[in-house]
Amino acid sequence: MAALDPLVPSGGPLPPEERRRAARHLLLESFGPAAQARLASARVLVVGAGGLGSPVLQYLAAAGVGTLGVLDDDVVEESNLQRQVLHGAGDVGSPKTASAAAALRTLRPDVRVVEHGVRLDASNARSLMEAYDLVVDGCDTFATRYAVSDAAVALGLPVVWGSVLGWDGQVAVWWSAAPDGLALTYPDVFGPAPSEEGETCATAGVLSPACGVVGATMAVEAVKLLTGTGDVALGRLLVYDARTSTWNAVELTPPSAATGPVAHSEAPNRATSPLTTVPEGALVLDVGPAAGGAAPGAVWVRLEDLAAGEHPPELVGHPHDAPVVVVCPHGLRSRGAATLLAADGWTDVRAVAAAPL
């Protein structure tokens, strides 16, 4: 499709120092000072300052976006540092919004950063988003994605969306007001909101540089939308496979009442099997988010500790060829734990779901 009209009007001539800093943009064919001036006037809200939000925020700040909203209610944890490159070891324990704002101002002192240290949901999404020209959604929960989508439809805002899990990533642009029959939203493609959350990096893992690839692509789409340059990924789902370093574009069409959603829902995979009986001689490990009595006699252990190779005494004394049953409420954390235990030498590991008793 041809380039869209720019989302942001030109804010007038750039000062000499900004032209010097953005010189490589000004040399681009079909970009130049007018597009750079639009970036300087742009207001972009980035939802999530984690694995995807980090490269998005870095590149948008460096590209010259004038105002960046950073929305995240979390604090920096040590396990974030593997992929959330906006934060450093000295930021552990700090709010992600504060850490991100400091890093962005170091990168570009004149950028305006607005910190939103809250969780976006249906009750506040519209008020948080209405001050911006564009939303970039790099969150990792269904609840937030659907709240962003609903508010964006109400406000007529485009959303650059991305996700990454394991070795795989996806990028798309959703916009209920898009021209040329390309008015697609996240629910149009993935269906209604599921009743429960799916796998996350905390349960399935993620390749660190894949976050950079997907996040940088999201930043590219944002720049094209803001400036009216390039071919925006409307009506296409961009799918990245880090195993082969390849991208594929899936063509999308607006759904009809007869056909329903364009693609399958991102609803989570269910557990491999219910916890009905425990094999004789098995050690039962509970890797739920909190000790919840998933099974009688289960040993609770944090998934993060297993990842660090810190095994509870009961596991250390358990023979490597004896059965281990790993449980959690939905079977997601337990699958990740089973992968870790297999890598550490236990040969008979079963991951199951078991709601807390």
Out of 129, 226, 328, 353, which one is annotated catalytic?
328
Query: In angstroms, rounded to a whole number, what is the distance separating the alpha carbons of residues 184 and 320?
Result: 51
- Catalytic site includes residue 201: yes
- The number of residues making up the chain comes to 357
- Please give the single-letter amino acid code of residue 328: C
Produce one character per residue of 264-300: b if its CB has 16 or more CB atoms within 10 Å, e if not: eebbbeebeeebeebeeebbbbbbbeeebebbeebbe
Active site residue: 22, 63, 153, 201, which one?
201
Verify whether residue 139 is a known catalytic residue.
no
Q: What is the spatial distance between Cα 161 and Cα 215, in angstroms, rounded to a whole number?
A: 10
Active site positions, annotated: 201, 328
